[in-house]
């Protein structure tokens, strides 16, 4: 499919940016998927491919509404749900294609890449011993809202791209915590609309703890488990994406 073209935004635009149209670039998954809690559009997705698309659409609507309220033009993004056992090239792969462990936003081609296997393993909890936080006893990943947290986090990186933050040389940890905060702000909107069920918040907070790491001396450090949990919950508690600017120092 042809990639979506997004309008150029003025540098210095407010933090209230939003997503516009979205596009599915990958083939359907053959793996069955049973949604545990979150019902996004009145129907339950039957495959991980469908669930990732439904969550992306939900997050997209949230940011589109925020964007419209700010009177800004509508940006666009592409996405690719990589089938298990397959890989795809991206503008950010540095010679290594995105495969079964992919969960990333690539500013080079303005695309969110998530492996269906990775998402399924998050959903089932199979990745817990492989994640830096949960392998040390912090949190855990299981359930549909743990997957939704991952999607909303990567979507947050596209917001940062629209803001021009990637070109400012900010520390990775600041960008990662802000993206967690953005994910929490989206979740608050779903909660206010009574679309969350018992256990959803715990799933998101558990996932935030599970993906935290302890390598603070590494330039690629994403934040400790506690920092990531606090960032997500900070966005959820405020419900205001503008508050997430506090993570940029």
What are 204-214's pLDDT values in tens digits?
999 999 999 99
Task: Report residues of the chain scoring pLDDT below 70.
Answer: 1-43, 75
pLDDT for residue 43: 58
| CA distances for 5 relative to 2, 74, 109, 247, angstroms | 9, 11, 10, 29
Please choose, from the candidates 182, 177, 165, 172, the residue with its C-alpha nearest in 3D space to the C-alpha of residue 229.
Answer: 177
CB 113 within 8 A of CB 90: yes
- Residues 81-123: pLDDT tens digits? 999 999 999 999 777 789 999 999 999 999 999 999 999 999 9
pTM of the model: 0.84
Which one, of 87, 79, 82, lies nearest residue 111 by Cα?
A: 79
Task: Rounding to the nearest 10 degrees, give the CA dihedral for residues 246, 145, 228, 111.
Answer: -70
């Amino acid at each position: 499919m042809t990639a979506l073209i997004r309008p150029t935004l003025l540098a210095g635009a407010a933090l209230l940016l939003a997503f516009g149209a979205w596009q599915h670039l990958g083939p359907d998954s053959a793996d069955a998927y049973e949604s545990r809690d979150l019902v996004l559009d009145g129907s339950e997705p039957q495959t991980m491919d469908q669930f990732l698309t439904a969550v992306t659409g939900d997050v997209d609507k949230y940011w589109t509404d925020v964007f419209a309220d700010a009177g800004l033009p509508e940006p666009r993004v592409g996405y690719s749900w990589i089938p298990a056992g397959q890989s795809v090239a991206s503008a950010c792969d540095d010679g290594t294609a995105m495969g079964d462990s992919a969960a990333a936003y690539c500013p080079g081609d303005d695309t969110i890449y998530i492996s269906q296997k990775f998402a399924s393993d998050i959903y089932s909890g199979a990745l817990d011993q492989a994640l830096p936080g949960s392998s040390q006893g912090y949190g855990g990943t299981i359930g549909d809202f743990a997957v939704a947290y991952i999607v909303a986090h990567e979507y947050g990186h596209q917001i940062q791209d629209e803001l021009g933050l990637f070109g400012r040389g900010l520390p990775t940890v600041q960008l990662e915590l802000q993206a967690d905060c953005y994910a929490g702000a989206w979740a608050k909107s779903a909660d206010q609309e009574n679309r969350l069920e018992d256990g959803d918040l715990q799933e998101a907070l558990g996932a935030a703890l599970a993906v935290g790491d302890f390598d603070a001396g590494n330039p690629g450090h994403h934040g400790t488990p506690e920092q990531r949990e606090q960032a997500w919950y900070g966005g959820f508690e405020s419900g205001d994406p503008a508050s997430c600017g506090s993570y940029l120092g």
